[in-house]
Amino acid sequence: MDTESATVSGHDVTTITCVCGNTVARDGLIPANSDGVPIHAGPDVPAGLASWPDDGELFTLCPSCGRVYSDSVVEETGKAPVAFRVNVESGRIAEAIQLHWTS
């Protein structure tokens, strides 16, 4: 099976057009950790969100479909293969997405 890839330009994760059609300008894209949990930049991390990863490995989560892209892959290759998928309908990550938009 071929790996799905998002459209991206200029090695820039903020230009990703997700496989599902979502973009930063549409439903938004969320920085996440290697588990796909949205991360909070700053010292006071709300419960349910992840802190900024110590290793700096960032991922970009599409909150519409749950596809997750590796920022380092995008920056190094200019391509955006889907790294993995998470459940954005229910569960921890779905709740964290709500927190991300409201905190």
* Minimum CB distance to Zn ion smaller for 20 or for 94: 20
Count of residues engaged in binding Zn ion, rule: CB under 5 A:
7
Q: What is the DSSP letter of 17?
A: B
Say if residues 34 and 59 touch (Cβ distance below 8 Å). Answer: yes
Cα separations in angstroms, 67 against 5, 46, 95: 10, 23, 16
Site of tokens 């920085």: 31
Contact letters for Zn ion, residues 36-75 (x by CB under 5 A) = --------------------------x-xx-x--------
Nearer of residues 8 and 18 to Zn ion, judged by Cβ: 18
Residues 8 and 80: beta-carbon distance below 8 Å = yes
Q: Does 18 bind Zn ion (CB under 5 A)?
A: yes
* Residue numbers at the binding site for Zn ion (CB under 5 A): 18, 20, 22, 62, 64-65, 67
